[in-house]
Amino acid sequence: NAGVTQTPKFQVLKTGQSMTLQCAQDMNHNSMYWYRQDPGMGLRLIYYSASEGTTDKGEVPNGYNVSRLNKREFSLRLESAAPSQTSVYFCASSERLAGYTDTQYFGPGTRLTVL
């Protein structure tokens, strides 16, 4: 099992360009998440999908959109990239959102630089 995979690993964009970060999991998990990690800020939740067909905003959703394509895949789109979106983006998945023992597993991350 690959676990959680993300593409691309690295990306450089110019301000105003758009791109989609892809995430897939092969653990048959119901819930998926997108985080960004910035120095001194920790991991912050951008969007999450509790189950296939549902998506909800997290702590820092502005400037992003998501699509839960199917149970395996959850993509994050930047419509008009800004330098403030320079960050490391992690996708994660878990069996279900509401279980208190639910553990999140992380993908390898995408390092995005917006010039």
Partner 1 sequence: QKEVEQNSGPLSVPEGAIASLNCTYSDRVSQSFFWYRQYSGKSPELIMSIYSNGDKEDGRFTAQLNKASQYVSLLIRDSQPSDSATYLCAVKGYGGATNKLIFGTGTLLAVQP
For the bound state, the minimum distance from the C-beta of residue 3 to partner 1, rounded and expressed in Å, comes to: 10
Q: Say how many CA atoms lie within 13 Å of 65 toward its Cβ.
A: 9
Residues in the chain: 115
For the bound state, the minimum distance from the C-beta of residue 103 to partner 1, rounded and expressed in Å, comes to: 6
What is the rounded radius of gyration, in angstroms, for the C-alpha atoms of the chain? 13
Give the pair of three-digit tokens for residue 88. 């490391």
Shorter beta-carbon distance to partner 1: residue 84 or 103: 103
Residues near partner 1 (CB under 8 A) are 40-45, 48, 58, 90, 97-98, 100-109
For the bound state, the minimum distance from the C-beta of residue 80 to partner 1, rounded and expressed in Å, comes to: 27
For the bound state, the minimum distance from the C-beta of residue 99 to partner 1, rounded and expressed in Å, comes to: 9
Using CA atoms in the order 14, 106, 72, 66, what is the torsion angle rounded to 10 degrees?
Answer: -40
Separation of alpha carbons 27 and 4, rounded Å: 8
Give the pair of three-digit tokens for residue 13. 């964009």
Shorter beta-carbon distance to partner 1: residue 27 or 80: 27
Shorter beta-carbon distance to partner 1: residue 17 or 51: 51
